[in-house]
Amino acid sequence: MQTIKAATIQMVSSTRPSDNIATMQRLVAEAAAQGAQWVLLPEYWPIMGVSDTDKIAHAEPFGSGILQQALSDTARRHQITLFGGTVPLQSNSPDKVLNTLLVYDSEGNCRARYDKMHLFGYSGLGEHYSEADTIQPGGTVPHFEMNGWGIAQGVCYDLRFPEFFRAQSPFDVLVLPAAFTYNTGKAHWELLLRTRAVENQCYVIASGQGGTHESGRRTYGHSMIIDPWGDIWAVLPEGEGVLLAELNPARLASVRSRLPALQHRLL
């Protein structure tokens, strides 16, 4: 296991995939220029539509398409591991997509795939969301390793289900692209991220959408990198940008040896 310089990217994606691809490429280049080896993009980076159904028109078959090619090319160009936020992939229903996190290595090869499992539903404070109307849930718990680090994957609403991450044990880093609403994010985002870091004694890299979108929807942002003790090492409240921090295996080992909670698990 080697020390890794990781970056999380925050965006305020528009309704136009071409513009969002250009923004993604610019921000990844900025992260790579600062030495990032791993880069995480937010959920829905290619499109934040006026309607939830807008993403259906941009769904791609797995393995081909403009969005996947852009991710592959960007990872290869900068010789990084790119955790590609989420892109809409075609499902077995014409009215729904898979909301999918794809991971590309420095050669541009897709190394991992996770289709979002838990689908967000919320009504309150003048808002209503029902991802199940346009997204088909995934059914496979992810498992992935890179550079000797065990990596847990989740997307946005998955964050609220601790058993989902326990099912991926053992792991050292949790990556989570998201597009938390402003109201739910303000209440729970930091609390949940730090809790996942503490209970799993792992690094957490979380990437969010962060601002007011063309539809009028406001996302919470506050992309973060958190260490295994639960300390926030970097945070970006709102707007687009890049955060970097080093993931140090010595820090991970120190937390786990001084407080060996993972060894004390009974269930």
Domains of the chain: 4-264 (3.60.110.10)
Q: At 126, is the pLDDT very low, low, confident or very high (cuts 50, 70, 90)?
A: confident
Active-site hit among 55, 60, 96, 156: 156
For residue 20, what pLDDT is reported?
97
Please report where in the chains the tokens 């080697």 appear, as a residue: 2
For residue 55, what pLDDT is reported?
85
Q: What is the pLDDT of residues 207-248, one digit of tens each?
A: 999 999 998 899 999 999 999 999 999 999 999 999 999 999
Show the CA angle centred on residue 215, arms to residues 213 and 216, nearest 5°. 70
In the DSSP assignment, the letter for residue 162 is H
116 in active site: yes
Active-site hit among 96, 116, 202, 240: 116
**Beta-carbon contacts of residue 136 (< 8 Å; ≥ 6 apart):** 91, 92, 93, 96, 97, 98, 115
Q: Provide the mean pLDDT of the chain.
A: 95
156 in active site: yes
Active-site hit among 43, 60, 238, 240: 43
202 in active site: no
Q: Average of pLDDT values for 99-127? A: 92
**Beta-carbon contacts of residue 19 (< 8 Å; ≥ 6 apart):** none
